[in-house]
């Protein structure tokens, strides 16, 4: 059976979504299977996006209409713009204010037409022409056509579990997420969750049959397998002025739900007790960086806490392997990829007390109430003052990571593809 794997155009600053998708691409490019996997790469040009240059079996998908349609649209826009100029002349020169309404309507039409219009026929034609039997969407919040059999991933339902946060509720985000995920939950052949906790949330909030959900356990990205020379490691540590430094690490984009604020408060409380670490932030700004940096200044921690911006995979691995511990106080789960990455790199983990995080770490981490900065402080203090505890966390984490491989994770999904093939034989493309 030929299965299309849909790849949206994630740039590196997209963080976890980009890392997850890259790992999926790597796995399905090399896996041995009875099925054929063809990557459907979303691109507005006829050029493969750079982040997918490792892909060989692919087809480019442009959701916008073809050049002929675009040319006709340009002619239409130009005619509207000529009318707009005429209406402006009547208003400004001849003082005919009654034409104002016409002018405003013309402006609105022109602006709406300038937004590229998606052509739904494009995707169906691509599926038909390439004899694709079903589509797998590895990234969340994506589906091009509900009538084409599909598998879809749901990473979280944060708009329901932490709906007060602006990134999941403001400016139409709540309705967009809810409408899409509700449709996915009921139209997908199978839904992919990353944990039993995530599966339980989907069943509870969307009244979904549990048998419809396939669990692909959260796995680390490919950075954990990077092999770096000693010189490369030293260069990276020197670049960030971290050679022989004892630091804590928090890799997270600057969304409000990432909870940088309570971690900063915990660091300030540790400093008052005479326990001083450097704290390293990485990740792209999603609108909350300035607020976090201003808060940091007020806590008088400018020297102890540094923001490195977005870093490469090699730099990320070095930051994991040389950190005293990774602290991950996110307010959104149920799982998070950096936790799997950290334990795979031998980095002790202190993370939010979510059921999904327990599944990921299987007791190898210390768990915190992310809303309580004093609890965060105490767990950091425990690791800082108990070397045996820290060593046991590292040992246990490495043992757990052996079961977190991508091969292990996708076993259930491959079996589900085998099952669906028997059903898909019942009708033509």
pLDDT of residue 113: 53
**Nearest partner of 342 among 295, 257, 401, judged by Cα:** 401
Which CATH superfamily, name and number, covers 2-64+118-219+408-424?
Answer: Glycogen Phosphorylase B; (3.40.50.2000)
pLDDT at 405: 83
pLDDT score at 8: 86
pLDDT in tens, 252-302: 999 999 999 999 999 999 999 999 999 999 999 999 999 999 999 888 776
Query: Rounded to 10 degrees, what is the CA torsion of 3, 6, 12, 14?
Result: -130
What per-residue confidence (pLDDT) applies to 88?
Answer: 60
250: pLDDT confidence band, cut at 50, 70 and 90? very high
Tell me the mean pLDDT in the region 137-143: 93
Between 3.30.420.40, 3.40.50.2000, 3.40.50.300, 3.40.120.10, what CATH number should domain 222-404 receive? 3.40.50.2000
> Predicted confidence band at 248 (pLDDT cuts at 50, 70, 90)?
very high
Give pLDDT tens digits for 15-65: 667 888 889 999 999 999 999 999 999 988 888 887 788 888 999 999 886
Tell whether the model's pLDDT for residue 228 goes beyond 50: yes
pLDDT, position 95: 46
Mean pLDDT of the region 330-353: 97
Q: What is the pLDDT of residue 77?
A: 56
pLDDT above 60 for 102: no
Question: What per-residue string of b and e applies to 402-423 under the rule 16 or more CB within 10 Å gives b?
Answer: eebebeebbeebeebbeebeee
Q: Identify the CA nearest to 186 among candidates 171, 203, 170.
A: 203
Give yes or no for a contact between 355 and 181, defined as CB atoms under 8 angstroms apart.
Answer: no
Q: Six-digit token pair at 273?
A: 């007790």
Report the percentage of the chain scoring pLDDT > 70.
86
Residue-averaged pLDDT of the chain: 89
Whether the CB-CB separation of 172 and 398 falls below 8 Å is answered with no
Reduced to 3 states (helix: H, G, I; strand: E, B; else coil), residue 82 is helix
> How far apart, in whole angstroms, are the C-alpha atoms of residue 285 and residue 309?
8
Under the banding of pLDDT at 50, 70 and 90, the label for residue 243 is: very high
DSSP-derived letter for residue 243 is T
pLDDT band at 390 (very low <50, low <70, confident <90, very high): very high
183: pLDDT strictly greater than 80: yes
> Among all chains, which residue has been given the structure tokens 């915990």?
266
């Amino acid at each position: 059976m030929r299965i299309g794997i849909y790849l949206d155009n994630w740039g590196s600053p997209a963080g976890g979504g980009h890392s997850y998708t890259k790992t999926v691409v790597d796995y399905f490019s090399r896996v041995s299977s009875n099925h054929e996997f063809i990557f459907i790469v979303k691109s507005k040009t006829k050029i493969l996006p750079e982040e997918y240059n490792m892909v060989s079996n692919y087809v480019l998908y442009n959701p916008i209409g073809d050049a002929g349609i675009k040319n006709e649209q340009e002619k239409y826009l130009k005619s509207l713009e000529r009318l707009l100029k005429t209406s402006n002349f009547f208003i400004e020169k001849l003082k005919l204010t009654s034409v104002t309404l016409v002018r405003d309507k013309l402006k609105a039409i022109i602006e709406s037409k300038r937004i590229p219009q998606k052509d739904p026929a494009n995707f169906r034609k691509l599926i038909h022409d390439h004899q694709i039997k079903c589509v797998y969407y590895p990234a969340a919040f994506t589906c091009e056509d509900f009538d084409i059999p599909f598998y879809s991933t749901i990473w979280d339902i944060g708009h329901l579990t932490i709906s007060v946060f602006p990134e999941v509720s403001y400016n139409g985000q709540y309705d967009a997420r809810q409408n899409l995920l509700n449709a996915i939950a009921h139209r997908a052949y199978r839904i992919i969750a990353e944990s039993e906790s995530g599966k339980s949330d989907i069943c509870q909030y969307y009244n979904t049959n549990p048998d419809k959900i396939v669990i692909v356990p959260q796995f680390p990205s490919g950075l954990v397998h990077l092999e770096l020379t000693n010189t490369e490691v030293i260069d990276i540590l020197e670049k960030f002025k971290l050679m022989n430094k004892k630091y804590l690490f928090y890799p997270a984009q600057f969304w409000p739900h990432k909870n940088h604020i309570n971690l900063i408060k915990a660091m300030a409380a540790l400093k008052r007790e005479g326990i001083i670490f450097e704290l390293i932030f990485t990740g792209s700004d999603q609108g909350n960086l300035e607020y976090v940096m201003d808060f940091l200044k007020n806590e008088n921690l400018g020297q102890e806490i540094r923001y490195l911006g977005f870093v490469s995979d090699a730099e990320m691995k070095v930051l994991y392997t040389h950190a005293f511990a990774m602290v991950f106080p996110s307010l959104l789960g149920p799982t998070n990829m950096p936790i799997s990455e950290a334990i795979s790199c031998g980095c002790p983990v202190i993370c939010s007390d979510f059921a999904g995080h327990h599944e990921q770490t299987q007791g190898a981490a210390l768990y915190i109430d992310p809303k309580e900065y004093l609890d965060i402080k105490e767990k950091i203090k425990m690791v800082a003052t108990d070397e045996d505890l820290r060593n046991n966390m590292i040992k246990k984490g490495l043992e757990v990571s052996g079961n977190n491989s991508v091969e292990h994770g996708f076993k259930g999904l491959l079996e589900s593809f085998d099952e669906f093939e028997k059903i898909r034989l019942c009708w033509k493309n």
